[in-house]
Chain A
Amino acid sequence: MNAITMTNLTKKYGDFLAVDDLNLTIGQGELFALLGVNGAGKTTTIKMLSCLIKPTGGDAVLLGNSINTQPQAVKKLINISPQETAVAANLSVSENLELTAGLYGQNKKSARQRAEEVINQFGLEGMQKKKAKHFSSGMQRRLSLAMALITDPQILFLDEPTLGLDVLARRELWASIRALKGKVTIILTTHYLEEIEALSDRVGVMSKGKLTAIGTVAELREQTGTSKLEDAFVILAGGRV
């Protein structure tokens, strides 16, 4: 069964076509990476799928629920880790996690239990009472991802989750994401090509709002006759190698 089916999904801002007639299906448990230069339409696509903005045309169905007609049902199934570290600065790790769980309908006992599980899963033990504002950006991103997962989403949107992180913090976050593969459908946007190679099952390349190519990393290399993903991406994004 498909987790996400996009049909002619379109978003216009005035005369500017941010996402142009997107048709794409993503399977359950798949880690699908959206790749593109700045302004290619990746974040706009994620915002439409997560019901943050309404499409100008077309629709997307997430696990049987339309983003146009059933946004509340969609919201119960998804979660997001935005580009910025979206955490409550003056709340502790436990408070941030329990708040998120509670807002998705978990009772106090269940929220506390899940918070402890997620704290262990993300290596945040010993920091439960520490306020988020005192964390490094790497730790804040890890907390942000933990907040996205405490609600047990069936579909998870990761919008440039490792932006600005050092190599060690990035590798740690990759390990956390890799552990989710097969269990949660993940849509990942990133500028880091090594991240795509390390994590993704399939890649969609976007350029000027359009999906220009789709396939595994190996298929994209083969399709463009290149040996590196970077070269393949440059060709598919409309540049020159």
Chain B
Amino acid sequence: MRILLFAKRNTKEVLRDPINFFFGLGFPLVLLVLLSIINASIPPEANNPMFTIENLAPGLAMFGTVFMALFAGMLLSKDRTTSFLMRLFTSPMTPKDFIIGYTLPMLALVLPQATITFLAAGIWGLEITANLLPAIIVTTITSLLFIGLGLLAGSLMNDKAVGGLCGAVLTNVAGWLSGVFIPLDLIGGVFKKLANILPFYHSVQGIKTVLGGNISDSLPHLLIVMAYTVAVFLLAVIAFRRKMSGGKA
């Protein structure tokens, strides 16, 4: 009951900000259109599959979820700095109520975001099959990584720092190292190794393989993403509990 009430409040706080609407739903669509236009301009003899819709759709579905880190982090950080969280800390709410209450609205935002991105990709030629539903579910699961990163940042930093870290740094790091915008094989070397170590490339590959109907092939990628997610959430919970039990709010 408390979790749902708090989650409902958090959903309203995020959705009532028009900038969040643009970055949450509009921005992946803008990128989809732009990159599809670029793809249409690439001559077939170039044999460059980079921006084909089968690669682009899962990549942008993952990239859209990066903004959940920004939304979760900013919300938590603003709640801390305005003392709203201090008020809630004196209520009977438990750490579990807070963590789930901040996470659920983000997951609820990812579902329509991923669905719209994939359906819009259908207009640009993506074959809409029964694999769409598992791909949306996998996108939602992989988004937990970014939600956790947002909660960790929001527990430790003020809203300006969260905006810089989750808005500017994370979107760039996740974007470039996911292989969505530039082929990793083209650059190779340390860049490719780093992309393979970090979870962003594996998130895209996990979604892409599920979308292609190869669920078993997605598992190694998803395991890597989930390992990072568990670690990030553990750190976020530790940081949040510290704030709750007397760290400077």
B83: Cβ under 8 A from any A Cβ: yes
Contact partner of B9 (CB less than 8 A), chosen from A75, A78, A95, A144, is: A95
- When chains A and B are docked, how far (Å) is the Cα of A102 from the Cα of B93? 11
Complex contact A104–B92 (CB within 8 A):
yes
Of the candidate stretches A47-55, A161-169, A233-241, the one touching chain B is A47-55
Query: Is A29 an interface residue, CB under 8 A from the partner?
Result: no
B246 & A82 in contact (Cβ 8 Å cutoff): no
Pick the contact of A88: B17, B84, B246 (CB < 8 A).
Answer: B84
Task: Please report which residues of chain B, range 125-174, place their CB below 8 angstroms from some CB of chain A when the two chains form the complex.
Answer: none
Q: How far is the CA of A148 from the CA of B84 in the complex (A)?
A: 12
Q: Is the CB of A78 within 8 A of B90?
A: yes
Do residues B82 and A85 form an inter-chain contact, with CB atoms below 8 A?
yes
CB distance from B70 to the nearest CB of A (A): 16
- List residues of A (41-99) whose CB comes within 8 Å of B's CBs: 47, 50-54, 72, 75-76, 78-80, 82-91, 95, 99
Residues A51 and B16 in contact in the complex (CB < 8 Å), given A84-B83, A99-B9, A102-B5: no
The answer to whether B245 and A54 have CB atoms under 8 Å apart is yes
Is B87's CB under 8 angstroms from A82's CB? yes
Inter-subunit contact B86/A82 (CB<8 Å): yes
A131 to B12, CA, bound (A): 11
Contact A91 B83 (CB under 8 A): no
Q: How many B residues face the partner with a CB closer than 8 A?
A: 24
A105 near B: Cβ within 8 Å?
yes
Q: Are B89 and A88 in contact (CB under 8 A)?
A: no
Chain A: minimal CB distance from B243 (Å): 10
B90 with A103: CB separation less than 8 A: no
Nearest chain B CB to A132 CB, angstrom units: 10
| B86 x A86 contact (CB < 8 A) | yes
With an 8 A cutoff between CB atoms, is A147 at the interface? yes
The complex places the Cα of A100 from the Cα of B84 at a distance, in Å, of 11
- Would A91 and B92 count as touching, CB distance under 8 A? no
Tell whether, in the assembled complex, residue A79 and residue B246 are in contact, meaning their CB atoms are under 8 Å apart. Answer: no
Q: Which of B84-110 contact A (CB under 8 A)?
A: 84, 86-93
Q: B6 within 8 Å of A by Cβ?
A: yes
Q: Which residues of A contact B83 (CB under 8 A)?
A: 82-86
Q: Which residue numbers of B lie inside 8 Å of A, CB to CB?
A: 1-2, 5-6, 9, 12-13, 16-17, 78, 82-84, 86-93, 245-246, 249
| 19 extra interface residue pairs, beta carbon distance < 8 Å, beyond A52-B89, A85-B83 | A52-B246, A53-B245, A54-B245, A80-B86, A82-B87, A84-B82, A88-B13, A90-B12, A90-B13, A90-B16, A95-B9, A99-B5, A100-B91, A102-B2, A103-B6, A103-B91, A105-B1, A131-B16, A148-B87
Q: Give me the 7 closest cross-chain CB pairs, A-B, nearest first.
A: A53-B246, A84-B83, A86-B83, A86-B87, A90-B16, A82-B83, A102-B5
